[in-house]
Amino acid sequence: MDVEGTDSRERGDEQDFERRSALFSLAISEVIIVNLWEHQVGLYQGANMGLLKTVFEVNLQLFQQQRGTKERALLLFVLRDHIGTTPLENLSDTLKKDLSNIWTSLSKPPGLEECKIEDYFDFQFTALPHKILQPENFNSGVDTLRERFTEHDDPNYVFNPMYHKRIPVDGFPMYAKQCWDQIVANKDLDLPTQQVLLAQYRCDEIASVALESFDEAVRPLEQAARANPVVEGLGPKMTQARSAVLSEFEASAGRYHRETFKRKLDELRSTVDLRLHVLFLGQITGLHAACVKRFQKEVESALKKEGYDFAKTVISVKERVLEDFDREAAAVCVEGTGWTYDIDRQGLLRDIDEAAGRLRREEISRILDRLEKNLKAELDEPIAAGFAKPNDKIWDTLIAEFDTIKEKQAELFKEKAKKGLNATDEDVASGVEGLKVRAWTILRDRLDAECEPTRLLLRLRE
């Protein structure tokens, strides 16, 4: 399997694929050829030591630790354009020393802290002459290198049985797929490019500066919200503060890596919206409480006037209060946030209806008090007349008069409750029952007064 050069121009500074392909090579191959120039030996980036460190580290975590057995592989370093000034042995020693150093610095999984690079890899080194300056020697060197792969008798034959993965050929596609899936899912290989790193750093800086201006604009609003449940003109001020911070960020950070910019913009927007949402909720809660209080106050004020209509008053005040609530609540729904106050409006409706029901019951109680006075006044004459000239039909006459007066007042209550109060059938039935109880109490108290012993003796004497 041939993988593209780790510093190929096609990939630019996108390094994720090179890490994945290198690790994939380690996972499925018996021998890995590391192809580098002679002058890169001893360099950290030029010899791809950073890449090898990352790949070795993840290889230990993903594959070696899970398998439980130490699978060996051959690392064959091919040094290109070898002039011969520095012997191959010296170059090999330098590479071995560099590999040992990076292996020592690896973050090893539990149980493998003391392992050595030689436990997992064998090393071979070869050199190829300069292809342009020594074409014949180069071709000869390539032929010699080829024999390591084709000639079983070659002392440097690379396909040693100890390197075999022992995977049946019909199972190799599934084995390779599982290895690749593990590699792709591993986040340790997803290191950002230089463009992404720069974008992250600058976007964070720009966002920090923009948030300072945002804080200056929002802090007075938060102080006002703590002092008053409802802040005048809060919505436009929040919209202006939000637009300013996002515009400032977009103007300065929009030049950097597009995906990183978008992600940081979303993060900034979430931070800003979270802080503004607290103000939004406070304003809606304050409006809710103010509207319920205003509804109750206006209805109670209207009930003190002559000729009022309770039902019409409730409907009229309710419409005005809800209209004002909708206007004020909509003003703090900052565009682009997706905030709504539908649930709060439903809660306000329930509270207004509860307040209206409470006022209706109070009004019913006042009507019953007035009708009770009427009952007393209308019962007074027939009872006084009956006891002034008693006869054997006195009780039948009084009860008949009482029933007539009681039903008259009950019908009057029904008419007032239904038309004037828009009361429910349950409220009407309860009121009628209460009025009848009051009527019987009035009758009993009036009769008890007429039959008081002193008065009764006077009546009997007369």
Query: Mean pLDDT throughout 239-265?
Result: 88
Q: Which helix (H) or strand (E) holds 37?
A: strand 31-37
Averaged pLDDT score across all residues of the chain: 82
Asked if pLDDT for residue 112 goes beyond 70, the answer is yes
CB 212 within 8 A of CB 180: no
Exposed e or buried b per residue across 407-425, where buried means at least 16 C-beta atoms within 10 angstroms of its C-beta: eebbeebbebbeebbbbee
Asked if pLDDT for residue 192 goes beyond 60, the answer is no
Asked if pLDDT for residue 19 goes beyond 50, the answer is yes
Asked if pLDDT for residue 216 goes beyond 60, the answer is yes
| Residue 191: predicted pLDDT | 47
DSSP states along 343-391: HHHHHHHHHHHHHHHHHHHHHHHHHHHHHHHHHHHHHHHHHHHHHHS--
SS3 150: helix
The partner residues of 121 in beta bridges, in order of sequence, read 73
When mean pLDDT is compared across 35-39, 54-58, 235-239, 332-336, the lowest value belongs to 54-58
Exposed e or buried b per residue across 222-243, where buried means at least 16 C-beta atoms within 10 angstroms of its C-beta: eebbeeeebbeebbebbbebbe
**Which of 182-186, 283-287, 377-381 ranks highest by mean pLDDT?**
283-287
CB 61 within 8 A of CB 110: no
Give, as one character, the DSSP assignment of residue 305: S
pTM over 0.85: no
- Classify residue 86 as exposed, middle or buried by CB count within 10 Å of its CB (0-12, 13-18, 19+): middle
Asked if pLDDT for residue 4 goes beyond 80, the answer is no
Over its C-alpha atoms, the chain yields an Rg (Å, rounded) of 47
Identity of residue 202: R
pLDDT band at 270 (very low <50, low <70, confident <90, very high): very high
Question: For the segment 223-247, what is each residue's pLDDT rounded down to a tens digit?
Answer: 888 888 888 888 889 999 999 999 9
Asked if pLDDT for residue 164 goes beyond 50, the answer is yes
| Residue 185: predicted pLDDT | 78
Q: Which CATH class is domain 16-189?
A: alpha beta
| Residue 50: predicted pLDDT | 66
388 vs 288: which has the higher pLDDT: 288
List of residues 6+ apart from 80 with CB closer than 8 A: 35, 36, 37, 38, 128, 131
DSSP states along 187-218: GGG-PPPHHHHHHHHHHHHHHHHHHHHHHHHH
Positive or negative: CA dihedral 382, 445, 366, 306: positive
Token pair 């290989």: residue: 189
pLDDT more than 90, % of the chain: 9
Asked if pLDDT for residue 394 goes beyond 50, the answer is yes
452 vs 423: which has the higher pLDDT: 452
| Residue 142: predicted pLDDT | 92
| Residue 139: predicted pLDDT | 92
Q: Which of 370, 371, 388, 375 is nearest to 444 (CA)?
A: 375
CB 228 within 8 A of CB 292: no
pLDDT more than 70, % of the chain: 87
13 vs 400: which has the higher pLDDT: 400
